[in-house]
């Protein structure tokens, strides 16, 4: 059931668990995540970066595929189709295409410009029933061309953006997209606690979910995180399972070259990874 992410994240914040955002790249990814959410009776957010949207030939293709698949698979758990790290123009394209949720990432603008553009997009999104995420501070590393230095958010700026009426807020707390380096200092719980204190009941978003140790995930949830984004870990699971299949020569046995067979181990690996994360985040049976 396609819905905005507002209600599912309010419930998560109140119930002290988090809803996973899993980024999609193609049909296999989308099907794996939707089926796992249904099997786990868990709400879920499908994240689409601008790069992945372009890869899938545009946001309209993505929205049409997700809506049709949600229907044909008989998905009854709440599913939000969400733009990840959207530009100003990208937000408008997704609103038009039929997404149910957008993220406007104005973190690289001066705070006044972030405020002005976020204000405008909050009004447009809410008038059409979409949820909207904003960002303060930046997520380190690189994701699909979005590069961040990884500075921690200023809690006062978080309050300023939260007060604009966004539905959930991503605050940089030392998190990084992609794999964490061996010398990573860990999440700044000091920053998270300060942000949480300032923004009251606002559900917080933890980007860069890949590779964050389980105890840090649980602590982050206890400090107001209600949405956790995972992308790279699903990609790595898919890659490892596909490599194993090919290295075992299975693609050369019988009809092992059939794309539906070739992509199946990766598909199953994504399902297993998404289930593991839903259990860790506490969203199982919360649909």
Contacting ligand 13P (CB under 6 A), which of 231, 237, 242, 283?
231
Query: Would you count residue 105 as binding ligand 13P (CB under 6 A)?
Result: no
CB of 221 to ligand 13P, least distance (A): 16
Query: Would you count residue 209 as binding ligand 13P (CB under 6 A)?
Result: yes
Of 6-14, 230-238, 254-262, 278-286, which segment contacts ligand 13P by CB under 6 A? 230-238
Of 51-59, 147-155, 206-214, 248-256, which segment contacts ligand 13P by CB under 6 A? 206-214
Question: Which residue, 164 or 206, has its beta carbon nearer to ligand 13P?
Answer: 206
The pattern of x and - marking residues 37 through 56 that bind ligand 13P according to CB under 6 A reads ----------x---------
d(CA 23, CA 207): 11
Query: Would you count residue 229 as binding ligand 13P (CB under 6 A)?
Result: yes
The length of the chain, given as a count of residues:
287
CB of 141 to ligand 13P, least distance (A): 7
Backbone φ and ψ of 6, nearest 5°:
-60, -55
How many other C-beta atoms can be found within 10 angstroms of the C-beta atom of residue 117? 17
Query: Would you count residue 230 as binding ligand 13P (CB under 6 A)?
Result: yes
The pattern of x and - marking residues 124 through 143 that bind ligand 13P according to CB under 6 A reads -------------------x
Question: Which residue, 11 or 177, has its beta carbon nearer to ligand 13P?
Answer: 177
Question: Which residue, 94 or 245, has its beta carbon nearer to ligand 13P?
Answer: 94
Query: Would you count residue 208 as binding ligand 13P (CB under 6 A)?
Result: yes
Is 214 annotated in the active site? no
Query: Would you count residue 82 as binding ligand 13P (CB under 6 A)?
Result: no
Q: Are 103 and 166 in contact (CB under 8 A)?
A: no
Of 65-73, 112-120, 214-222, 223-231, which segment contacts ligand 13P by CB under 6 A? 223-231
Query: Would you count residue 277 as binding ligand 13P (CB under 6 A)?
Result: no
Binding residues for ligand 13P, rule CB under 6 A, total 16
d(CA 186, CA 215): 11
Question: Which residues have a Cβ under 8 Å from the Cβ of 57 and sit 6 or more positions away?
Answer: none
| Three-state secondary structure string covering the chain | CECCCHHHHHHHHHHCCCEEEEECCCHHHHHHHHHHHHHHCCCEEEEEEHHHHHHCCCHHHHHHHHHHHHHHCCCCCCEEEEEECECHHHHHHHHHHCCCEEEECCCCCCHHHHHHHHHHHHHHHHHCCCEEEEEECCCEEEECCEEECCCCCCHHHHHHHHCCCCCEEEECCCCECCCCCCCCCCCCHHHHHHHHHHHCCCCEEECCCCCCCHHHHHHHHHCCEEEEEECHHHHHHHHHHHHHHHHCCHHHCCCCCCHHHHCHHHHHHHHHHHHHHHHHHCCCCCC
Question: Which residue, 237 or 245, has its beta carbon nearer to ligand 13P?
Answer: 237
Query: Would you count residue 87 as binding ligand 13P (CB under 6 A)?
Result: no
Block residue for tokens 């668990």 = 17
Question: Which residue, 32 or 245, has its beta carbon nearer to ligand 13P?
Answer: 32
The site for ligand 13P (CB under 6 A) is made up of: 23, 47, 84-85, 143, 177-178, 207-210, 229-233
Instruction: Point out the residues that are catalytic.
Output: 84
């Amino acid at each position: 059931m396609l819905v905005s992410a507002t209600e599912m994240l309010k419930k998560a914040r109140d119930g002290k668990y988090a809803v996973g955002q899993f980024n999609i790249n193609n049909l296999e990814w989308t099907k794996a995540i939707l089926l796992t959410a249904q099997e786990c009776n868990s709400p879920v957010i499908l994240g689409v970066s601008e790069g992945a949207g372009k890869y899938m030939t545009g946001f309209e293709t993505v929205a049409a595929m997700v809506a049709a698949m949600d229907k044909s698979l008989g998905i009854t758990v709440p599913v939000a189709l969400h733009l990840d790290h959207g530009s100003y123009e990208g937000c408008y394209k997704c609103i038009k295409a039929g997404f149910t949720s957008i993220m406007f990432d104005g973190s690289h603008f001066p705070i006044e410009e972030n405020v002005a553009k976020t204000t405008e997009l909050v009004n447009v999104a809410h008038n059409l029933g979409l949820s909207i995420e904003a960002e303060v501070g930046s997520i380190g590393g690189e994701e699909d061309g979005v590069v961040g230095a990884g500075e921690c958010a200023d809690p006062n700026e978080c309050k300023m953006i939260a007060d604009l009426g966004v539905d959930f807020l991503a605050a940089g707390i030392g998190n990084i997209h992609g794999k964490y380096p061996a010398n990573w200092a860990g999440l700044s719980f000091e920053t998270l606690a300060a942000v949480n204190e300032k923004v009251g009941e606002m559900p917080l978003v933890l980007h860069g979910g890949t590779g964050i140790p389980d105890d840090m995930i649980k602590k982050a949830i206890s400090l107001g995180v209600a949405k956790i984004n995972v992308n790279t870990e699903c990609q790595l699971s898919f890659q490892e399972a596909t490599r194993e299949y090919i290295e075992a020569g299975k693609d050369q046995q019988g009809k092992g070259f059939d794309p539906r067979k070739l992509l199946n181990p990766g598909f199953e690996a994504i399902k297993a990874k998404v289930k593991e994360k839903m259990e860790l985040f506490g969203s199982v049976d919360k649909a």
